[in-house]
Amino acid sequence: MFRSIYLKTLRGYWVAILGWGIGMGLVMVELLAGVSALISTPQQRADLAAMAAQFAWNADAIKADTPGGYATWKLGTFIFIVCIWALLAATRTLRGEEERSQMDVLLSMPRSRVRVAVEKVAAIWTALGLMCLIIALVAFGAAAKWEPDITLADALLFGLNIALACAVIAGVGLVISQFTHERGPAAGATGALLVVFIVVDSFHRVIPNTDWISRLSPTYWYNMSKPLIPSYGTSFTGLALQFVVAALLSAIGVWLFVHRDVGDVIPLPGWLRRMQRATPPSRELPVRDWSLGSVYARSLGQIAMPTVWWTVGTAGFGGLLVALVNQMSGNFQKLAESSTFFTQLLQQLGGKGAAFNDSLLSFVFFFMPLIVMAFAVTEVSRWSNDEGDGRLEMVLATPQSRVVVILGRFAAIATSSVIISLITLGAILVVGALANVPLDAGNIVAASVELIPMTLLVAAIGYLGAGWLSNAVDAGLLSFLLAAWIFITFLGPELKLPEAALKASALYYYGTPVVDGFQTGNMLLILAVGVVALAVATLRFTRKDIAI
């Protein structure tokens, strides 16, 4: 595995290949198995299909009354979580190694820059292929029992479709990283574009006559194929579009890397550059700058822009959820007029008005804590990077204790989480008022406030791991923990996992505050676990050697 750059790079991805491949494969097994109990009668099939149609913003509800169709619909946008690994790998493979000065050592060998870049990109593509091959084979094994109409070729095309979707996002990340000095902003921008792609793709499912807009999104090209629905099949046009765009973006990224200095960036065109004020030259140091007053202020200044963008994204998503609830509410009311199942469901969800809207919002509000917890993961990665790259040594050279440094950084994350949660709360209430959607304001406040402890828990666990693990391992394990919580909460009830297993997920304690209000006991428990994790992390930081 050390005979070439390609094999060495691929060797570093084996944990991700097995983890993501087996993990997502098991998700497919559960979905194919779980739906069998929901479609035992023709009436159940019809009700399930009608129910799926109300959540079309997530995915096209095609043949949702079959195991393959249900699995395709239920996965929906959840499958794009695999793209997170792709964008992180793509932004780290060149720009990340330049940050750590490893690229200088690599290029000192008798290898051309083109060969280095191509072999690294090829390793990412191979890893995605192997990852999705495992997903396909595990899904085919499950389909043999619950959906015999799905062939091995269908399963392999399903895996290929996922791999190509991830390759497109990886290509986007590779190109963007040529315009940034650090991998963090490139990964953040690529993640933001992924969210935009998903939202644009959903336009044609929730807004009439917007199909032409959705076609501009790579996510739309992925959804053109549904190999697990034999009657729908695979769109080779969609596969070809993804392959061509992924290959083109990768080629552009390699070309840009070859034609710039190592450690430098490609300058943006003049019309894209940020307008700068003409300021007279000054030799004065910014000794009175507000952000230099303390470790906390400096940390807050460093994460100010990321906080702004995460706030915009989270608040925008919250407003979109309210708009979707408004649409689904009307559809449920119409279905209840002609279906006993939906009449009973309507009664269970609170009838009409604010109670019913809160119940619907609770279903889709599941994604909100995931967004703010993902923000915490990025900030933990920033802390680990600062330690690994030696930037903390400069801070500790000043008369600042280690306790003040780590708690100051953590306090900055806490402040950002409060800002994100409160502005998101305001956006939800404003959109609800403008769209005339009755909502229980008290429960919405509770749901937004509960986002803060969830963010702090993830950050505290990440800081704890940073005391013993490298940045890559810490961020990877933290992401895996978050994915495990999603799996337990999202699919645990369908797997009929015991209550003790469900309680292993932090999302279990978040509960459904949009319906049930503030979960005081659960939030105190989350805060207590976070405080213990932060205390141990602080103790470890005060006693360890930096970057060890």
Please say if the pLDDT value at position 324 is more than 80. Answer: no
Cβ 23 vs Cβ 15: under 8 Å: no
Q: Per-residue pLDDT averaged across 287-307, rounded?
A: 76
Please give the residue that has the higher pLDDT: either 453 or 345: 453
Distances (CA, A) of 373 to 122, 417, 499: 31, 9, 23
When pLDDT is cut at 50, 70 and 90, the band that residue 277 belongs to is very low
When pLDDT is cut at 50, 70 and 90, the band that residue 395 belongs to is confident
Distances (CA, A) of 43 to 40, 345, 516: 9, 15, 31
What local confidence, expressed as pLDDT, does residue 352 receive? 56
Distance CA 203, CA 209 (A): 9
Beta bridge partners of 233: 226
Distance CA 373, CA 134 (A): 28
What local confidence, expressed as pLDDT, does residue 164 receive? 95
Please give the residue that has the higher pLDDT: either 526 or 391: 526
For 238-272, the pLDDT digits (tens) are: 999 999 999 999 999 999 999 888 888 887 666 55
Cβ 55 vs Cβ 202: under 8 Å: no
What local confidence, expressed as pLDDT, does residue 389 receive? 67
Q: How many residues does the chain have?
A: 548
Please say if the pLDDT value at position 327 is more than 70. Answer: no
CA torsion 430-436-440-446 (nearest 10°) is: -20
When pLDDT is cut at 50, 70 and 90, the band that residue 293 belongs to is low
Phi, psi of 233 (to 5 degrees): 80, -160
Q: Per-residue pLDDT averaged across 52-79, rounded?
A: 76
Please say if the pLDDT value at position 36 is more than 80. Answer: no
Range of lowest pLDDT (102-106, 284-288, 311-315, 537-541): 284-288
Q: Which residue has the tokens 């940045």?
A: 471
Distance CA 383, CA 377 (A): 10
When pLDDT is cut at 50, 70 and 90, the band that residue 211 belongs to is confident
For 192-208, the pLDDT digits (tens) are: 788 788 878 877 776 77
Phi, psi of 476 (to 5 degrees): -65, -45
Distance CA 384, CA 421 (A): 25
Cα-Cα end-to-end distance for the chain: 26
Please give the residue that has the higher pLDDT: either 274 or 227: 227
When pLDDT is cut at 50, 70 and 90, the band that residue 275 belongs to is very low
Distance CA 244, CA 236 (A): 12
Distance CA 111, CA 3 (A): 13
Please say if the pLDDT value at position 188 is more than 70. Answer: yes
Sign of the alpha-carbon torsion through 85, 88, 94, 97:
negative
Range of lowest pLDDT (314-318, 413-417, 471-475): 471-475
Sign of the alpha-carbon torsion through 448, 317, 427, 291:
positive
Distance CA 117, CA 251 (A): 10
Please say if the pLDDT value at position 537 is more than 60. Answer: yes
Range of lowest pLDDT (155-164, 169-178, 323-332): 323-332
Please give the residue that has the higher pLDDT: either 545 or 532: 532
Please say if the pLDDT value at position 178 is more than 70. Answer: yes
Q: Write the single-letter amino acid at 51.
A: M
Q: Per-residue pLDDT averaged across 68-89, rounded?
A: 82
| Percent of the chain with pLDDT strictly greater than 70 | 82
Cβ 533 vs Cβ 523: under 8 Å: no
What local confidence, expressed as pLDDT, does residue 276 receive? 43
Q: What letter does residue 353 receive in the DSSP assignment? A: S
Distance CA 328, CA 345 (A): 13
Q: What letter does residue 226 receive in the DSSP assignment? A: B
What local confidence, expressed as pLDDT, does residue 110 receive? 84
Give the angle 326-332-333 at the CA atoms, nearest 5°: 95
Q: Per-residue pLDDT averaged across 24-51, rounded?
A: 72
Total-model pTM = 0.73
Of 453, 473, 477, the C-alpha closest to 534 is 453
What local confidence, expressed as pLDDT, does residue 161 receive? 94
Cβ 253 vs Cβ 174: under 8 Å: yes
Distance CA 475, CA 131 (A): 19
What local confidence, expressed as pLDDT, does residue 346 receive? 52
